[in-house]
Structure 1
Amino acid sequence: MPLTELQIKQAKPQPKPYRMTDGHGLYLLVNEKGKYWRYDYAYFGTRKTLAIGIYPVITLAMAREKHLEARRLLAQEPPIDPSAHKKQQRTAQKAIVQNAFENIAREWLTYYRPAVNSTHHQRTMRRLEVYLFPWIGKAEISTLTPPDILKPLKLIQDQNKLETAHRVLQVTSQIFRYAVRTGRAGRDITADLRGAIPSARTRHMASMTEPEDVAQLMKAINGFKGSLTVQIALKLAPLVFVRPGELRRARWADIDLEAREWRYMVTKTKTEHLVPLSTQAVELLKTIHPISGHGEWVFRGGHDPRKPMSEAAINAALKRMGYNTQTEITGHGFRAMARTILHERLNFDPYVIEHQLAHKVPDALGAAYNRTKFIEQRKDMMQKWADYIDNSYLKANAS
């Protein structure tokens, strides 16, 4: 009779190991050390045994599925030995791990180390760990394509770090050339990305990523004298780091202060997005609610309350505070500021950050952005980010 889960759970070790048969050669071997799934079969007249796994890590259903896969291999013409097939798969997987981009990059760094000083070596390692390994580190280098390399480079570009993007691309090229020389890649695919990243002299959306600069910016924002609407919008912008258009068109109908959530449709990506609201963000929204809470828009237009706040309001306020919106900070720059500091200073996972930025970043299974993915980590991250912003202001104010 086939085994049942109850029989397996209740099975106790005896003085001698014993078998519990499920049928067609599949059985559970029970001894003092544990319970082990085995499959006895014949391969060209030779009796062999396939180790399937350990119970309860491998459940009864999983063991039967692996058993069926093994029988299918034996049923082929010519038959395939399940044990040999398993060994080949392990060897192939080991080769993939050994030839992963990160492993080859670290190997190259060891090879490269004697030619450079320690500071340059550490800076190169840091760039790889921050900008490349989280995205392509585990991929087998020979399977990577130019678009795979371009994705993390574009993320660096979005932070207004064009010089860094070019340096990371240059290092990637050196790693690929090393892989070609050692027989683990066919060619240097980064050659296909020539011109894909703008010149470092090209203007981009200005941002701030150094903690000292951020502290002074927060001090300036908290001291801004303007309409209450713009004051609140300016203070909320770095806390939620959404796109400027999404902030100025925020609707009260999309905000749940009790649940501390803001849900809306991202125009650019046509996806539903969820912004967990920190304690500080909720307090700011409560402050402006008496003014605009009876209407549609959180931030009403100064001339027509039936319309949202002006598109230029945030940047105009930054200019009034003395900031150059071409070279120092823009309303959009709060996104790059948050992304950089959350990862480099607060050590949050890049995937969690990219989800909070509502970017379509496929995961290991190919699934793109999901508004509720990593939601608990994102709630924690948004509160810690708000606390970091508060502390930056306090430090600047005390100096």
Structure 2
Amino acid sequence: MPLTDLELRAAKPRDSLFKLSDGGGLQLWVYPDGARRWRMAYRFAGAQKALAIGVYPAVGLKEAREAREQAKRSLAEGRDPSLVKKMAKAAKASASANTFDALAGELLDKKRREAKAERTLSKLEWLLGLARPMIGARPIAEITAPEILAVLRKVESRGRLETAARLRGTIGEVFRFAVATGRAEGDPTGALKGAIATPIVQHRAAIIEPKAFGGLLRAIASYEGAPETCVALELMTLTFVRPGELRSAEWAEFDLDKAVWAIPGEKMKMRRPHRVSRSRRSSTMRPAFARPAAETNSER
């Protein structure tokens, strides 16, 4: 006779293990310590086996019967139910380990090993942080384009169009990394091109007229502050380097005879060496730019 919920609740432990049968191989094993576990007895490839289904009452009678029917379907297909369960458990564990969060973390670690600039890493981590609340815990292989679009539209709705565009590219980079490491089939962000509003390009103010540029140089020349600051301002107008690259410049980087400034990769944003060909003006600048003589250093 099939079991009832009343029989299951009334099952008390005995001095030794005993079993209550529900039919079709499904049994409730009652242990002396009070534990009650569902098992399904079956034969596969001529061997007697038992499939562990779960612990009662966490797994109720209805769920246990559904598991029994699923196991019977596996047997009908020529598959061992215990092996099917192990494979499903392994797949679930793999999916948990391959979430968007996990892949994003691996990508960041890769960029750190590549010695990317700290500012670049911080910006990347900030962008990923915008996506994590909505898709971070999702297995990377299961995330769809509409899910990503929901993330982008949340940023877009705040009027941050440029950020939304950058975020799409950043999420795409995580997916391409997942594809390269065999944990995703493709990059769904490609389908989102044009799905969000395009930022309006606003050109920054720039001096493009020769007379105006001359006025800038005259204004710098009339600066009454520290001579080093005056030289630095003039150098920036003639070389177009970033302020940080200028502040950290060392004499060893300059070849004054060839008028070349070789900035090493570790000081560049993209971590690639950069050579700046200095103009005639920057090569013949005021004495303040000349390399300090040995006797000058000794006086300091």
- Answer yes or no: same fold by TM over 0.5: yes
Which position in structure 1 is the counterpart of 2:176?
177
CA distance 1:93–1:162, shift in 2 (3 Å):
same
Question: In 1, Cα distance between the equivalents of 2:143 and 2:151?
Answer: 13
- The Cα shift of 1:14 comes to 1.9
- Stretches of structure 2 lacking an aligned partner (at least 5 in a row): 203-300
Q: 1:152 to 1:6 in 2, by over 3 A?
A: same
| CA RMSD between the two structures | 2.4
Contact 2:12 2:34 (C-alpha < 8 Å) held by counterparts: no
Kindly name which structure, 1 or 2, has the bigger radius of gyration based on alpha carbons: 2
1:331-346 to structure 2, matched below 5 A, reads none
1:83 corresponds to 2:72: no
SS state at 1:84 partner: helix
Percent identity at matched positions? Answer: 38
Determine the structure 2 residue equivalent to 1:155.
154
For 2:189 and 2:155, the matched residues in 1 are separated by 16
Distance in 1 separating the partners of 2:179 and 2:72: 40
The reply to whether residue 27 of structure 1 matches residue 27 of structure 2 is yes
The normalised TM-score by structure 1 is: 0.46
Query: Between Structure 1 and Structure 2, how many residues are aligned?
Result: 200
Amino acid at match of 2:39: R
Q: Distance in 1 between matches of 2:172 and 2:136?
A: 15
Tell me the secondary structure at the aligned position of residue 50 of structure 2: strand
Cα displacement string for residues 139-193 of structure 1 (whole angstroms, at most 9, x for unaligned residues): 4333444333222111110111112212212211221221232122344443343
Cα gap change, 1:118 to 1:12, in 2 (>3 Å): farther
Using the TM superposition, give the Cα deviation of residue 36 of structure 1 relative to its aligned residue in structure 2, in angstroms.
0.2
Structure 1 segments unaligned to the other structure (5+ residues): 204-399
The one-letter code sitting in structure 1 at the alignment partner of 2:195 is A
Q: Is the 8 A contact 2:38 2:52 kept in 1?
A: yes
Task: Measure, in 2, the Cα distance between the counterparts of 1:186 and 1:70.
Answer: 30
2:179–2:186 Cα contact (<8 Å) kept: yes
Deviation at 1:123, TM superposition (A): 4.6
Tell whether the 8 Å contact from 2:30 to 2:37 is kept in structure 1 after alignment.
yes
How far has the Cα of 1:121 moved from its partner? 3.5
SS for the counterpart of 2:82 is helix
Counterparts of 1:96 and 1:53 in 2: how far apart (Å)?
22
Q: Distance in 2 between matches of 1:169 and 1:30?
A: 55
Distance 1:142 1:24, change over 3 A: closer
Match of 1:68 in 2: 69
Aligned pairs (5 A) from 1:14-163: 14-31=14-31, 32-76=33-77, 79-114=78-113, 115-118=115-118, 120-129=120-129, 131-163=130-162
- In structure 2, the CA distance between the partners of 1:182 and 1:73, relative to structure 1 (3 Å rule), is closer
Q: What is the rounded CA distance, in whole Å, between the counterparts of 1:75 and 1:89 in structure 2?
A: 18
Aligned to 2:92, what secondary structure does the other structure show?
helix
Once residues 131 and 14 of structure 2 are traced to their aligned partners in structure 1, the CA distance between those partners, rounded to angstroms, is 53
Matches within 5 A, 1:356-371: none
Say if 1:183 and 1:61 are closer, same or farther in 2 by CA, change over 3 A: closer
Aligned to 1:218: none
Q: Distance in 2 between matches of 1:11 and 1:186?
A: 50
C-alpha distance in 2, partners of 1:192/1:63?
Answer: 42
The AA in structure 2 aligned to 1:89 is A
Q: Give how far 1:54 is off.
A: 0.3
Q: What letter is aligned with 1:7?
A: E
1:29 maps to a residue whose letter is W
SS of alignment partner, residue 39 of structure 1: strand
2:2 counterpart SS class: coil
**Partners in 2 of 1:18 and 1:58 — Cα distance?**
19
SS at match of 1:56: coil
TM-score by length of 2: 0.59
Aligned to 1:322: none
Q: How many angstroms does 1:49 deviate by?
A: 0.3
How many angstroms does 1:44 deviate by?
Answer: 2.3
Q: Residues 215-230 of structure 1 correspond to what in structure 2 (within 5 A)?
A: none
Separation (CA, whole Å) in 1 of partners of 2:192 and 2:60: 47
Q: 1:174 to 1:73 in 2, by over 3 A?
A: closer
Aligned to 2:229: none
CA deviation profile, 1:63-88 (whole Å, cap 9, x unmatched)? 11211221232234xx2211111112
Q: 1:187 to 1:68 in 2, by over 3 A?
A: closer
